[in-house]
């Protein structure tokens, strides 16, 4: 029997090849498993962002609605810019409809697409994210128009006054 390094019998060549092959198979299986886990994790993160977008978008819609409804005088107006929702200058006392301009969860920036009101002002906002939404149904009544959207930019959070 041949003696290996250090005076210890070395493993036969066939056993070394089997161990190497077994390790390659284990590494391949781990790679497939980690790929599947990362896809599930990515989808979970996207669903969380979608939930946040629905919350934030509805906060903007409600704030625009309050700004519109609380317009002094008979002629109602929309805010001219999003910052008007932070501090309404039309009153002597402080009127706030939002505490901050939220970040768009899909882009990570505090930049939003603007839906112009008829005339002057902002009637709503939408995400500038162009990804395809995972959520396609089961929206609240106010958000039913979002069903089967092709991108998040189609999720427009618009205040429409009751007639």
Say if 135 falls within a structural domain. yes
Please say if the pLDDT value at position 5 is more than 60.
Answer: no
Give domain status of residue 136, yes or no.
yes
Confirm whether 148 is domain-assigned: yes
Instruction: Say if 45 falls within a structural domain.
Output: no
Residue 118 domain-assigned (yes or no): yes
Whether residue 59 lies inside any domain: the answer is yes
How confident is the model over 85-126, as pLDDT tens digits?
999 989 888 899 999 999 999 999 999 999 999 878 999 999
| Residue 32 counted as domain residue | no
Distance CA 47, CA 105 (A): 11
**pTM of the entire structure?**
0.78
Q: How many domains does the chain have?
A: 1
9 vs 66 pLDDT, higher one: 66
Question: Where is pLDDT greater, at 150 or 7?
Answer: 150
Q: What's the chain's average pLDDT?
A: 89
Q: How far apart, in whole angstroms, are the C-alpha atoms of residue 55 and residue 74? A: 31
Residue 147 has pLDDT above 80, yes or no: yes
Selection from 154, 161, 73 nearest residue 117 by Cα: 161
Alpha-carbon distances, residue 42 vs 29, 84, 108, 132, 134 (angstroms)? 20, 36, 16, 14, 11
State residue 145's pLDDT score.
94
Taking residues 126-154, report their average pLDDT: 94
Q: Rounded to whole angstroms, how far apart are CA atoms 100 and 85?
A: 9
Whether 47 maps to a domain, the answer reads no
Give residue 10's pLDDT band: very low, low, confident or very high (50, 70, 90): low
Range of the domain at 70: 52-158
């Amino acid at each position: 029997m041949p003696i290996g390094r250090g005076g210890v019998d070395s493993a036969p060549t066939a056993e070394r090849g089997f161990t190497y092959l077994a390790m390659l198979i284990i590494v391949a299986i781990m790679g497939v498993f980690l790929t599947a886990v990362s896809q599930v994790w990515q989808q979970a993160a996207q669903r969380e962002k979608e939930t946040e977008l629905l919350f934030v978008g509805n906060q903007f819609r409600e704030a625009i609605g309050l700004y519109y409804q609380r317009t002094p005088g008979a002629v109602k107006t929309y805010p001219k810019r999003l910052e008007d929702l932070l501090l309404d200058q039309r009153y002597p006392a402080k009127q706030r409809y939002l505490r901050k301009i939220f970040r768009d969860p899909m882009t990570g920036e505090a930049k939003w697409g603007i839906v112009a009101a008829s005339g002057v002002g902002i009637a709503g906002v939408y995400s500038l994210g162009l990804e395809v939404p995972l959520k396609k149904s089961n929206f609240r009544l106010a958000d039913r128009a979002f069903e089967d959207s092709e991108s998040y930019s189609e999720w427009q959070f618009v205040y429409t006054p009751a007639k």
